[in-house]
Every structure is written in C-alpha cells, then in structure tokens.
C-alpha cells in the first residue's frame, strides 16, 4: 500500500537525522477519506542528500525545484526540499526558489489552506492555516492575502475553481472577490497549464456550480462563451438561457474530458445563428456547424491533442442530428463516426436533453432505443464496420479492382449491407461483385 510505502521512505529520511512529512494533496485527500492520487513528501534534506540516502532508487527529476523522485517496486514518490518562493515578477514563475528551514515556512507558500497541511512521521497533523476547518466548512480559501497570491501566480485563480469543482466546495468570500478582480491575469498563463486545470475542473462533481458562478474567469481564455451568458433562447424546448443550458449539459455528461469539453462548446455558436420566426419562436439554424468551427479554433488555441480536438468537433457537428432508430440509420451513423464516437454521441444527446425543458425528456427514450438497437446489431454480428465485412481488399484485387476503386467499392458494399440490400456473407458478396 502506498501509505505504508510513503511511511517507510519518511522513516528512512528521519533515521538519517532529517525531517520528512506527507504534504499537500495527499493530506487533504486522507482527511476527506478519498484515495490520494499521488503521495508527496516534503523534507529538510537537500536534494543531493536525498539522492545519497536512496542511491539507485533516486532520480533527479526536478532538481531546479528541489525535487527528487524515489522509486520503490511499484510506485514513485516525489520528495521536495522545504522551499520558500521569492518574488514573482512575471506572475507565473518565482524568480528564485530558495530552500526553507521548516515545514511551516514551506506551507506558507502553498496556494489554498486545504492544500497547506502536512502529516509528520508520528501521524500528527501540521495545519497552521486551519485547512481542516475549511475542509469541514467545504471552503477554498487562499493561504495569506488572496490579492497577493493571485498576482504572484495567476494560475492559482483557475486552480481555485478547479478545487471548488473537484471537491464540490464553495470559494470563501475574499478569495472569490480577488478571483473576480484578477481573472484577467490568466491571460499570461500558458495554454498547456490552462488546459490541464480545465480538464480536471470540467470533470469535477461541482462543475455546474463553478461554471455558473464564474463565466467571467472562463471568458478570459474562452471569450466566445461570454455572449452566451443570459442569452434567452425564446424556444419551447428550452427552459434556460444558452450559458445556463451549457452548464447543466456539461455537468450532465459522464465525467470524461472529451464529453465535457464537447458539452461546454456544443452550443457556443448559437448566438451567431439566432433568428425569430413570425410566431415569436427563436431558432438557431445551422448552429452545430458554426459551434463546431468555433470549437475547432478554441481547442487548437488551448493546444489540445489533435485526436481529442477532432473528436470534440465531430461530436459537436453531430449533436443535433436526428438519427433514425433503424438498422440502416444507426449502421450509417456508426459507419461515419466509428463505434466509439457513436457511443459518445449517445452520451452527448442524453446530456443535452437532460438540460432542456422537462417536457421533452421523452427524447431519452429514443436514445435508449438507439443504444439497444446498436447492442442487438453487435450481438447479431450484423456487420457495421468495414472490418466486419466478409470480403476485403484482397478479394477485390483478385476480381481485378485496383487503387481507389477498392476502398470505394468496399464502402459501397458496406452501405448496401447496412441498408439490408445484401447479406454479409462471403459467397453472396462475391457473387454480387461478379455480377457488376
Ligand atoms: P491533485 O490531487 O490534483 O494532484 P494536488 O493538491 O496534489 O492535487 P498538485 O497540482 O499536484 O495538486 O500540487 C501539489 C501541491 O503543491 C498542492 O497541494 C499545493 O500545496 C502546492 N501547489 C501546487 N501548485 C501551486 C501553485 N501554483 N501555487 C502554490 N502552491 C501550489
Ligand atoms: Mg498532486
């Protein structure tokens, strides 16, 4: 178990006459009864001393920050020398990292009270900022003076929202006010760091509340969201404005980054496509396309991986399409999207529907039926993907096809099989091809 392993490492450091503590996220998670993701250790020993204590089990992974990684059989532990951080002239990086003498000094540089606790080798809690009290009150509160802490490092603004979402906490008043005042400083922060925090924020239990409370913070790096805030849809399907619908839909999707990003951006083009008919109903013709184009740009700007970006854009493009619940309808969608994205599309449609007016919840039934039909088609081995087709490129070459003809013919064959015009049986398919 990790906790025991960490204890062994801490004891080893103490036996050499240094101090060592569990610190940060793992202490917070232990007090919450959650399983920590990683176990960070803080120590009075210098990096080179840690290297010496652990010999070939130690790796100098972050010497610049005073961090050494120690690997045991199965796990890796980061051991960081007590630090203080000097001044921040750029709002991103401390000008210099200096080592500190005590655990308390190190805790004073940390971002939030719930992250600024340590546990010593005897299991005693070191908690100078009442992080345990804030855990009980379910509050995110800065260590020290919020204005200063956010000016030093603007990423902390988004980290505050991230922890509020993941822990489903509120943000304490003076911290909240400083977040609102200094949100614009996030402009200085590299996209990669924004993206990493956003992926966690979007997948948190409290995502909806955070999105609803802090549109202006997200608007610093996704300004396209701002016109959605309060935008009345004037449409019977909708009981919320575009942004509120977006927040509900995002939180209604399973917590994985692709689905949650898709929901966050799925209607982002709505404002640009808005029209009102003679009966006073609002419409957003063509909004999936427009939203998908905007999402492509936003995801690229945030330096998302190409594959994730493409999946998100495709799902947004498809989110409002009506897919007939027939073997042909589903077969054709799976053919175009692939099985994984088709399943994601069902999840997107569910989340979208859950955030619409309750009178339209019956649409869920149709989505359920679509999923059931997909299941049956897979069970019956009704071919739905090219790889399931009983003939392949070699068969076509043997019949004299060549080049692009091969792929095109296979696609055409697959469409015919999906449409029920031919059976997916080798002999029948070959006979059909020979007839042509
Ligand atoms: P997670 O469970 O997501 O890993 P965590 O609390 O461990 O959460 P990390 O980003 O791994 O978060 O950071 C480890 C610790 O380092 C934090 O708990 C906090 O004490 C400190 N920390 C991290 N980033 C900052 C920052 N930008 N400013 C101040 N302290 C920070
Ligand atoms: Mg961590």
List pLDDT tens digits, range 300-348: 999 999 999 999 999 999 999 999 999 889 998 998 898 999 999 999 9
- The Cα 240–Cα 250 span in angstroms is 14
* Segment 178-228, tens digit of pLDDT: 999 999 999 999 999 999 999 999 999 999 999 999 999 999 999 999 999
C-beta of 155 in contact with ligand 1 (< 6 A): yes
The candidate with the shortest Cα–Cα distance to 120, out of 5, 36, 14, is 14
Q: Strand, helix or coil at 320?
A: coil
Nearest CA to ligand 1 atom 12: 25
Contact 49, 18 (CB under 8 A): yes
Strands 97-99 and 83-85, bridge-based pairing: antiparallel
pLDDT of residue 370: 96
- The Cα 10–Cα 14 span in angstroms is 6
CA angle 224, 201, 264 (to 5 degrees): 35
C-beta of 83 in contact with ligand 1 (< 6 A): no
C-beta of 110 in contact with ligand 1 (< 6 A): yes
Mean pLDDT confidence for 354-361: 93
Task: Kindly give the distance from the C-alpha atom of residue 55 to the centroid of ligand 1, in angstroms, as a whole number.
Answer: 27
Instruction: Please provide residue 121's backbone torsions phi and psi, each rounded to the nearest 5 degrees.
Output: -65, -20
Q: How confident is the model at residue 103 (pLDDT cuts 50, 70, 90)?
A: very high
Task: Kindly give the distance from the C-alpha atom of residue 163 to the centroid of ligand 1, in angstroms, as a whole number.
Answer: 10
C-beta of 331 in contact with ligand 1 (< 6 A): no
pLDDT of residue 420: 80
> In terms of pLDDT, which residue wins out, 247 or 338?
247
- Burial label, 394 (beta-carbon count in 10 A; 0-12, 13-18, 19+): exposed
Report the chain's mean pLDDT, rounded to a whole number.
94
pLDDT of residue 291: 98
Q: Strand, helix or coil at 109?
A: coil
- Residue 93: pLDDT above 70? no
pLDDT of residue 316: 98
C-beta of 25 in contact with ligand 1 (< 6 A): yes
């Amino acid at each position: 178990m990790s906790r025991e392993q960490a204890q062994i490492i801490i004891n080893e450091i103490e036996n050499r006459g240094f101090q060592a503590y569990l610190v940060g996220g793992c202490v917070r998670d232990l007090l919450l009864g959650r399983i920590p993701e990683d176990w960070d250790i803080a120590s009075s020993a210098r990096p080179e001393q840690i290297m010496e204590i652990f010999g070939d089990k130690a790796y100098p992974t972050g010497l610049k920050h005073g961090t050494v990684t120690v690997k045991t059989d199965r796990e890796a532990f980061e051991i960081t020398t007590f630090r203080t951080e000097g001044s921040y002239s750029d709002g991103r990086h401390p000008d210099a990292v200096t080592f500190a003498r005590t655990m308390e000094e190190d805790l004073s540089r940390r971002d939030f009270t719930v992250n600024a606790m340590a546990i010593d080798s005897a299991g005693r809690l070191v908690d100078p900022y009442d992080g345990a009290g804030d855990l009980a009150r379910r509050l995110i509160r800065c260590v020290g003076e919020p204005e200063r802490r956010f000016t030093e490092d603007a990423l902390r603004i988004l980290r505050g929202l991230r922890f509020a979402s993941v822990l489903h906490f509120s943000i304490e008043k003076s911290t909240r006010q400083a977040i609102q005042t200094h949100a614009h400083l996030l402009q200085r922060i590299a996209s990669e760091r924004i993206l990493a925090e956003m992926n966690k924020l979007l997948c948190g239990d409290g995502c909806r509340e955070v999105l609803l409370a802090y549109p202006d913070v997200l608007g610093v790096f996704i300004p396209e969201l701002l016109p959605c805030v309060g935008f009345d849809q004037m449409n019977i399907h909708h009981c919320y404005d575009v942004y509120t619908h977006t927040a509900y839909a995002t939180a209604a999707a399973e917590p994985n980054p692709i689905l949650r990003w898709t929901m966050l951006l799925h209607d982002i083009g709505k404002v640009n496509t808005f029209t009102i008919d003679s009966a006073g109903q609002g419409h957003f013709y063509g909004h999936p396309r427009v939203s998908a184009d905007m999402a492509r740009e936003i995801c690229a700007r945030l330096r998302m991986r190409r594959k994730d970006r493409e999946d998100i854009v495709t799902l947004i493009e498809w989110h409002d399409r009506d897919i007939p619940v027939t073997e042909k309808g589903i077969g054709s969608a799976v053919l175009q999207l692939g099985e994984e994205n088709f399943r994601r599309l069902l999840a997107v449609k569910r989340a979208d529907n859950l955030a619409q007016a309750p009178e339209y919840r019956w649409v869920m039934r149709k989505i359920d039926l679509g999923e059931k039909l997909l299941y049956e088609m897979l069970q019956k081995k009704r071919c739905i993907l090219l790889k399931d087709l009983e003939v392949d490129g070699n068969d076509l070459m043997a019949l004299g096809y060549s080049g692009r003809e091969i792929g095109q013919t296979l696609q055409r064959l697959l469409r015919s099989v999906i449409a029920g015009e031919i059976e997916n049986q080798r002999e029948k398919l070959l006979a059909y091809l020979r007839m042509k």
